[in-house]
Amino acid sequence: MSLRQSSGKDLKVVHPNVRSLRSKIDEIRLLQELCNFDILAITESHLDSSVPDFHIEIEGLSFFRWDRPQCKGGGCVLYYAENLTVIFRRDLSDKNLEAIWIQVNFPSVTALFSVIYRAPDDNDFFDKLQKQLESAWLRSSYIFLLGDLNCDLNILNTVPRNKNAAKLLSIFDALNLENTITSQTQVTLTCETLIDLIVTS
């Protein structure tokens, strides 16, 4: 993705769904050392207030975190390169959505990045997401949504799509957003699904 037009350098972005960051932080640090990502969006961080920030620090990156206040699981962490000019967009947050939004200022454009996680049983998620994306769309032409939405967009699945997939795709269409991930992101012996997305304008 090329946004740093003055330098000609591409922005390197990744979204791992880690299912417990605390137990995999050494692997994520090694991944960062090898790949040098500018944006590292983590879902299912499984963190709570008992885990201090220094336990999940990664050299060269700053971060914001969203921990579930009560029940286990879920959660997000959004890491970003320390050399980026970043503003935390609290105004785009919704206490009922597991999401973090930041604004990144480049020489010629401003972009919004978000990491988001949807619990499989959150049936009100799509209405809340639509409202949040509409707010973001009014503020920037460059939107990057990274996350696990637990909503299968696998084009190999039978048609018609399930209700949630249809709703999600209609939101993307209305806001001129496109999912860039086309391969299955979760493969088991019985099924293949595409639930981990990188969506952009």
Q: What is the pLDDT of residues 117-163, one digit of tens each?
A: 999 999 899 999 999 999 999 999 999 999 999 998 876 554 545 78
Q: Is 58 within 8 Å of 27 (Cβ atoms)? A: no
Report the CATH fold assignment for 13-200. Answer: Deoxyribonuclease I; Chain A (3.60.10)
Rounded mean pLDDT of 96-102? 96
Of 70 and 50, more confident: 50
Rounded-to-integer distance, Cα 161 and Cα 108, Å: 39
pLDDT of residue 157: 54
Q: Is the peptide bond before 52 cis (omega within 30 degrees of 0)?
A: no
Q: Which two tokens stand for residue 3?
A: 């946004």
Say how many residues make up the chain. 201
DSSP 79-112: EEETTSEEEE-GGG--TTSEEEEEEEE-SS-EEE
User: 8-17, 107-116, 159-168 — which one is most confidently predicted on average?
Assistant: 107-116
Rounded-to-integer distance, Cα 52 and Cα 40, Å: 19
